[in-house]
Structure 1
Amino acid sequence: MAGRQAVKAYLDLVSQACRAILIFLKDNKIPHTVENIAIRKGEQKTPEFTKLNPMQKLPVLVDNGFVLTESDAILKYLATAYNVPDHWYPKLPEKRARVDEYTAWNHANTRTHISSVFLHEVLLPRMGQQTNPEELEKALADLVAH
């Protein structure tokens, strides 16, 4: 896309949502730069970042001055704006609606519950903190239930 600057993605690769954005950008050869924001250091709470996303969450995408947050919205925007292969986000309304249906369900169910499991099984131990076995069992049960 002539005259278009590379998109800038603000990411922390500890986040599944951020990894999805980076994989999508690379796989579709969308020109991009990455600004690493370390959530564990609170870098998403700086005044500069808060101007981009007042909710202080990642990921954030900037495309020629257009700022977009939320991974689902970013992926759908990139698929549309950069005319990626149709299998990513179909143009046919019925097929696109099925993708939207799944991503809405996934966000409210799988991602919410897997994040809790990840916290207890991976993040807390890496940070030198004890995992509460009851909380881990509850997180696993919630995941299985959904």
Structure 2
Amino acid sequence: MGLELYLDLLSQPCRAIYIFAKKNRIPFEMRTVELLKGQHLSDAFAQVNPLKKVPALKDGDFTLAESLWVLAAKSLKVDPSWLHGAGVWRQQWERISSGRPMRSS
């Protein structure tokens, strides 16, 4: 089985993943997880993502459950040189998400 994306397109992070995959012609099977129905809280979905959050990416036995890292993994499939910039991007994201102000470069 190929790449599986567990998404609810009502979620902005899920839409970002979906648009990225479509724009970059990354083949995937979409598995809809309806947040409003609580499907992300089910035991079945917990087997995919123990955090019970979408989006989630499954590629064989490998699973990613954080939207930013899903985008990063998919970026690597599109352009392997992306890894070079990933460290800088990660540092910037950590500054934003930790509440510390970002310094201008």
TM-score by length of 2: 0.79
4+ residue stretches of structure 1 with deviation over 4 A? 106-109
Equivalents in 2 of 1:107, 1:10: separation in Å?
Answer: 24
Equivalents in 1 of 2:47, 2:83: separation in Å?
Answer: 33
Q: Quote the offset at 1:108 in angstroms.
A: 4.8
- Structure 1 counterpart of 2:94: 104
Checking the alignment, whether the CA contact within 8 Å between 1:72 and 1:103 is kept in structure 2 is no
2:62 corresponds to 1:66: yes
Note the aligned Cα RMSD (angstroms). Answer: 2.0
- Structure 2 counterpart of 1:11: 7
Equivalents in 2 of 1:50, 1:91: separation in Å?
Answer: 29
- Structure 1 counterpart of 2:103: none
Stretches of structure 1 lacking an aligned partner (at least 5 in a row) = 110-146
- Structure 1 counterpart of 2:24: 28
- The 3-state SS of whatever aligns with 1:55 is coil
Asked which structure has the greater CA Rg, the reply is 1
CA deviation string 1:117-142 (max 9, x = no partner) = xxxxxxxxxxxxxxxxxxxxxxxxxx
Percent of residue pairs bearing the same amino acid type = 31
Q: Quote the offset at 1:36 in angstroms.
A: 1.0
TM-score by length of 1: 0.59
Which structure has more RCO (C-alpha within 8 Å, separation ≥ 6)? Answer: 2
Residue correspondences, number: 99
- Structure 2 counterpart of 1:37: 33
Structure richer in helix, relative to its length: 1
